[in-house]
Homo-oligomer: A and B are copies of this chain.
């Protein structure tokens, strides 16, 4: 049920069309809550039906501009304050780790090297994003920076973990 809240949240920055919101979902929000066009248009329809947003302008090319209603804002605040966030559980990356004994040690090490490389790469891409946005907006986007920092720390953690895990495997190899 979070896509609806993501949409409501984006509309707090001002009225926007489905198409506008989609750019954000494919941009800054892609790392946190990706959404497809299909899904977003459907959700905006439901949101309008529920009275959490309203169509405030119909422009060229059938463009509909949605605006957050008081009910919508209330729902968003409720979600922010009262609904317990859930830790994301599913990770096919970790699931594979459980079954690495099925393949041989060399392949398992290769897998972990891959996770290390992946972490480094993703970390670098987040760092690049950070350097693009940081200078312009000093504390307007505090919360954006805080979210980004989570990603930087996650990827750094994964890199360190992958290195550590490779060392653990090296120990097993010796014994």
Interface positions of A (Cβ within 8 A of B): 2, 5-6, 9, 12, 29-34, 73, 76-77, 79-81, 85-103, 107-108, 111, 115, 118, 122, 139, 142-147, 149-150, 153-154, 157-158, 160-161, 164-165, 168-169, 172, 175
Residues of B contacting A33 with CB < 8 Å?
89-92, 95
- CA–CA, A147 and B73, complex, Å: 40
Contacts of A115 in B (CB 8 A): 85
A35 CB to nearest chain B CB (Å):
10
Closest residue of chain B to A158, judged by CB? B150
Q: List 6 A-B contacts (CB under 8 A).
A: A9-B102, A30-B89, A32-B90, A32-B94, A81-B107, A97-B147
B residues in contact with A98, CB < 8 Å: 9, 29, 32, 143-144, 147
CA of A77 to CA of B96 in the docked complex: distance in angstroms? 10
Query: A89, B32: Cβ atoms under 8 Å?
Result: yes
**A169 CB contacts on chain B under 8 angstroms:** 142
Compute how far the CA of A87 lies from the CA of B149 in the bound complex, rounded to whole angstroms: 17
User: A175 to chain B: which residues have CB within 8 Å?
Assistant: 139
A94 to B2, CA, bound (A): 11
Contacts of A168 in B (CB 8 A): 142, 145-146
